[in-house]
Structure 1
């Protein structure tokens, strides 16, 4: 018998025994004496008391049973919000610093958004609070929760794999608050789903309170869908976007404080920490300075030089940062970090000649809390640590950040394979996203073989993709890699789990098309298309159209694209509109232009930019120079003066398309089309588009071995008067002139 149910069993049994005794007494004695009535009433009062005791005992039992993954109050029970004396009492087990203990010494300065937060909490539902990692969103929403929901039971999981238990507890403990600080930690794998959120909110009496960093939120935005052949991360982001889409209230906390907020802070400037933050408000924002994010980043980078006194500490932080970047957001043991950091020490300038500080000094430095707010390395209880969000975000924000080294992937795989398979799935998927395909295969194979149910099936489909990609990258023999991938896809397709089945069916369609097994490829594409899956179904239909076009069956290709437009995921539909335009460009230019214009007006700025570029190329080919120029105007208008973000992204995609097509002989036609597109855009002569296109055209000429033509393209880009294109052209021309003469 479950420990949770034994108190209820005792209460019910006792109630039945008492009721039976009362009835027997009445039958035997009658109600001759008034005293019997008093006795009966007294006895009948006992069962409710027993029921109440049972409820309290079950709740206490839950708290005790789950106290290792949930915040529990004194007396081994889930706390009420009013029990929290400060943010440190909530955050000390999993919080961003264990540094919260001193956070409460800083008086709370009411934010402009505080009233909106309080109104949302009183209304109930799902409140999502967004902002930069150090904007102060957690403190602001914590104080709003204390002000409005004091009588609610607080369910605060500090482990990402406890979210299912958290939902169950929140349902049983109404009125309750489900606290999900950094909600992205609870998404993916076996995490939170939109269905769980809806079920939780349908019954009323539960408030879901979640925060998310702006950098993490961007992952679930309009670019949440995959590009090229990479899709696992897209699927994770799509599911996460569904969860975030269920939020009934969204409130953003700005990084920089308003004049009113600064004035309110000035009223408590007798506090040294607040006064110091106010002095730097213009540069960092009050909350960010208090959180010391920029200073910690500067200290970390400064410690990575050979003359530093904190070389070991910097290596320790680097190891923790890369653990987070590898897809593992929970804390890891010091033993694991101690082993990993040796790699970063060896890789430091000076290598074996360095004389780093002792381990104890390194750990003390890495966990030091300037301004009592946070630290580079954050204690999470149970001897677990993780890197501060700000350092992770700053590292990822660098141009083309390198993937974490092999040692990180190996260590996480060994650490997680027997303890947390959902987390290992995330690590394997992240390795795939970085292109570390060997690490991805190892991690995903372990999850597929050791996991159960949907997790195993999803890992098997993703494993097939890793094997297929390794074969195409030349890491394994193509025939062997394709055969192994096919086997994994077929096992996933037979698993019975709808999402894994649709994913595997779609991948089998692609793989068999590459093998020129056309009939089987079409059959698998159609199975995926007809699966009803909103993402993989539309993607399968679109890819079927691409391959039918390649095989010369234009009518069937057009039908496939039309099916995606009518039935696919919204972003898939827009991609199919563009594909339809490409298909018809040589056969029915008017219909092609209509398809591009439909995509242009569909509301996705990235895809609208591509549609505008292709429309301009089409009109230029038809001799409509004015229309072509206007289309380029539309493409440029969706980005800033430097072409960021969408114009650059679209040109990047075209260059990637050229490179990937060039790697496969059967796609030479697509490679030539990419070159012609850059040439056409360059020829149109638009001042905000053409110079950038010339930069990319020069890169293609260089890849083809024609340095002279590459140089001419870059000279034209530099002369075009476009600031960003000119800077890029200068750098490329300088690199070209530095190359040694091959003769």
Structure 2
């Protein structure tokens, strides 16, 4: 009976949906049928001898059909709307599920449902048994928790960085638990790119009464390079962003100073404590901490950090060092996995990939041992993946965000830095076997290690990604690398691809980069068109810089009127960096044209801006202009202003200018300097995302 009832309902639903989707046909059929029945009923009513019941039945059928002609489409619309909503929810759930480590859209985990290992803590015998009490660490606990507690929106970006096994992941996890309620929604993105997609999509971050928590463990350059200001702003409106990072990786980014890490450096500058984040120093426990740790973990002898002791680092180090003698095959497998991490690959390495790399590494460890499948499996299962007493192994099985694979212990990765070079054959082999998304991470890793040729090879593969935004990010980075190698035409092609990004900031930056590449090819008209496209976009970050760069290019090619117009566009943007630099260049242009009074006014406005680079330069140039006009006292004041700035580039020539002015006042020598615009790296600094300077 129930089955028949369900069947009737299903038939009615299908009919309703059909009526809704074929409304014109339904109305035509229903209207025609009603008209026919109405005509028959009228005829029957006029014929003698017809029973009232027949006529009543006909009228009832007509009325029922009239009602159904309206009701069925309405029911169909409602069913269709519910189906569409369910389909959209399923799409959103699938979209989010592929970009997070736990949960899906509408079903993201709550803080109380997560363990320490979900926040990146290395699993040990204690975490697997559920007996892993936390040993408090002061003042770090208080400082990190205070940072997490900062009010919003915008909510803070809290970064905890330090040496491997200083305890970054655990102290961060405990701080999150201490600050936020257990029902707080937690987003665990699979990568920085996944977070960027979620933050900028309509399938965005969760919202509620309080902020959500977004957690990224062990972030890399590849993660940071997609965390543009727009992404970080979107996250900050709804969630506290918490991340951990190794000190070595952070140091590489900050000291590089190159165009290729500019977005990463800008992202780091958003971290709490004025862009410094919280440094968690690797240290042995204090006496009080050791006493508490030994009470909580009886039988452990704490040497190094607490985290280092709990993972059995000393035992693992000893095993790894003895590997070439004890098990060459297992050691080759571990070295291959370690070098994959060092090369930039953050996901687990699959069996197939490790087996292929194993054949590359084994001869370097022990000649004459055949790299057979059996040798590989034996080295992996009986040595590399066998845990020591802490239940931690050199290689750990990990599903990551996709296919199951193996991940090398962080301790061993750090230990090999500076002690063992990456196998020279790894780069080409690894690039050939990974997908475009992974190639992007390797591109960053190779560039950070000075492997420019391999970075370009990885970038070319990464730019073939079927995901438009991933391909655009990779193409923009590739364009910078190619420009640095002098491959101007190839870099322009890469920037054209990057400019097709759907992200307005990224597209605008790529178009600016394209303009510079065209300028370097001598295609001034095409370059000007590209710069004007960026200027007309009114992008607050790139439009002022495009006007500045365009002005410099036009000035160098003798189109002084157009150059002045471009400089004024940059000046009127009131951008704190690009406006003073444009006015500095404008002043130099006017001075060379003999308009010394107007030049002097421009330099004075730059000085008033107090820009750390341009203001001292403008004071130097103003002194030169005033001295050339014979206003020696005012020139002396301008030179002294530049000297007082202590600027390493502009203070020394200002001192020489002052000496000349003083000599001139004594009647000893003529004055012979001329003002200039900004030098390379001054008036046209590489912007976020990396734009090569056009000056020089």
Q: Provide TM-score, normalisation by structure 1.
A: 0.55
In the superposition, relative to structure 1, how do residues 111 and 288 fare at CA in structure 2: closer, same or farther (>3 Å)? farther
Residue 321 (1) aligns with residue 323 (2):
no
Q: Distance in 1 between matches of 2:558 and 2:426?
A: 47
Residue 269 (1) aligns with residue 299 (2):
no
Q: Distance in 2 between matches of 1:369 and 1:435?
A: 35
Residue 234 (1) aligns with residue 251 (2):
no
SS at match of 2:160: strand
**2:102 maps to which residue?**
71
Aligned partners of 2:121 and 2:170 also within 8 Å: no
Residue 114 (1) aligns with residue 141 (2):
yes
Aligned partners of 2:548 and 2:566 also within 8 Å: yes
In the superposition, relative to structure 1, how do residues 578 and 525 fare at CA in structure 2: closer, same or farther (>3 Å)? same
**1:144 maps to which residue?**
175
Residue 233 (structure 1) shift: 3.1
**1:637 maps to which residue?**
none
The correspondence for 2:514, drawn from 499, 508, 514, is 508
Q: Distance in 1 between matches of 2:661 and 2:415?
A: 44
Q: Distance in 2 between matches of 1:584 and 1:435?
A: 42
Question: What are the equivalent positions in structure 2 for 1:39-78 lying under 5 Å apart?
Answer: 66=97, 69-71=100-102
In the superposition, relative to structure 1, how do residues 544 and 342 fare at CA in structure 2: closer, same or farther (>3 Å)? farther
Residue 265 (structure 1) shift: 3.0
- CA deviation string 1:661-687 (max 9, x = no partner): xxxxxx9x96xxxxxxxxxxxxxxxxx
The correspondence for 1:387, drawn from 408, 426, 430, is 408
In the superposition, relative to structure 1, how do residues 582 and 104 fare at CA in structure 2: closer, same or farther (>3 Å)? farther
**1:615 maps to which residue?**
650
Question: What are the equivalent positions in structure 2 for 1:434-473 lying under 5 Å apart?
Answer: 436=451, 439-469=454-484, 472=486
**1:51 maps to which residue?**
none
Q: Distance in 1 between matches of 2:174 and 2:553?
A: 56
Q: Distance in 1 between matches of 2:533 and 2:98?
A: 46
Aligned partners of 2:135 and 2:292 also within 8 Å: no
**1:736 maps to which residue?**
none
Q: Distance in 1 between matches of 2:561 and 2:465?
A: 45
Q: Distance in 1 between matches of 2:551 and 2:646?
A: 18
* Structure with the higher fraction of residues in helix conformation: 1
Aligned partners of 2:498 and 2:510 also within 8 Å: yes
Question: What are the equivalent positions in structure 2 for 1:582-731 lying under 5 Å apart?
Answer: 600=612, 612-619=647-654, 621-622=656-657, 624=659
Residue 360 (1) aligns with residue 382 (2):
no
Aligned partners of 2:514 and 2:530 also within 8 Å: yes
Aligned partners of 2:330 and 2:376 also within 8 Å: no
**2:278 maps to which residue?**
252
Residue 128 (structure 1) shift: 1.3
Residue 614 (structure 1) shift: 1.8
- CA deviation string 1:376-427 (max 9, x = no partner): 43432363223344555566678xx97774543543453214xxx3x43343
SS at match of 1:360: helix
In the superposition, relative to structure 1, how do residues 318 and 433 fare at CA in structure 2: closer, same or farther (>3 Å)? same
Q: Distance in 2 between matches of 1:582 and 1:611?
A: 22
In the superposition, relative to structure 1, how do residues 80 and 434 fare at CA in structure 2: closer, same or farther (>3 Å)? closer
Aligned partners of 1:131 and 1:212 also within 8 Å: yes
- CA deviation string 1:59-78 (max 9, x = no partner): 9x9699949953369xx975
Residue 521 (1) aligns with residue 527 (2):
yes
Residue 333 (structure 1) shift: 1.1
Aligned partners of 1:63 and 1:77 also within 8 Å: no
**1:87 maps to which residue?**
116
Aligned length: 537
What's the Cα RMSD here? 5.8
**1:132 maps to which residue?**
162
Residue 180 (structure 1) shift: 1.3
Higher relative contact order (CA 8 A, sep 6+): 2
Question: Tell me, which stretches of 5 or more residues in structure 1 are unaligned?
Answer: 1-9, 14-53, 474-480, 628-652, 655-666, 671-743
Aligned partners of 1:331 and 1:380 also within 8 Å: yes
Q: Provide TM-score, normalisation by structure 2.
A: 0.58
Residue 336 (structure 1) shift: 1.0
SS at match of 2:281: coil
Q: Distance in 1 between matches of 2:585 and 2:338?
A: 40
SS at match of 1:386: strand
Q: Distance in 2 between matches of 1:578 and 1:563?
A: 13
Q: Distance in 2 between matches of 1:575 and 1:303?
A: 59
Residue 213 (1) aligns with residue 231 (2):
no
Q: Distance in 1 between matches of 2:415 and 2:240?
A: 32
- CA deviation string 1:337-362 (max 9, x = no partner): 232233233445x7558999865345
- CA deviation string 1:535-588 (max 9, x = no partner): 544554554465456546788778867866775876667987998999999999
In the superposition, relative to structure 1, how do residues 546 and 166 fare at CA in structure 2: closer, same or farther (>3 Å)? closer
The correspondence for 2:361, drawn from 344, 348, 354, is 344
Aligned partners of 1:109 and 1:265 also within 8 Å: no
Question: What are the equivalent positions in structure 2 for 1:411-490 lying under 5 Å apart?
Answer: 411-417=430-436, 421=437, 423-431=438-446, 436=451, 439-469=454-484, 472=486, 482=489, 484-490=490-496
Aligned partners of 2:221 and 2:444 also within 8 Å: no
Aligned partners of 1:538 and 1:567 also within 8 Å: yes
Aligned partners of 1:87 and 1:139 also within 8 Å: yes
Q: Distance in 2 between matches of 1:97 and 1:534?
A: 46
SS at match of 2:522: coil
Aligned partners of 1:97 and 1:379 also within 8 Å: no
Aligned partners of 2:362 and 2:369 also within 8 Å: no
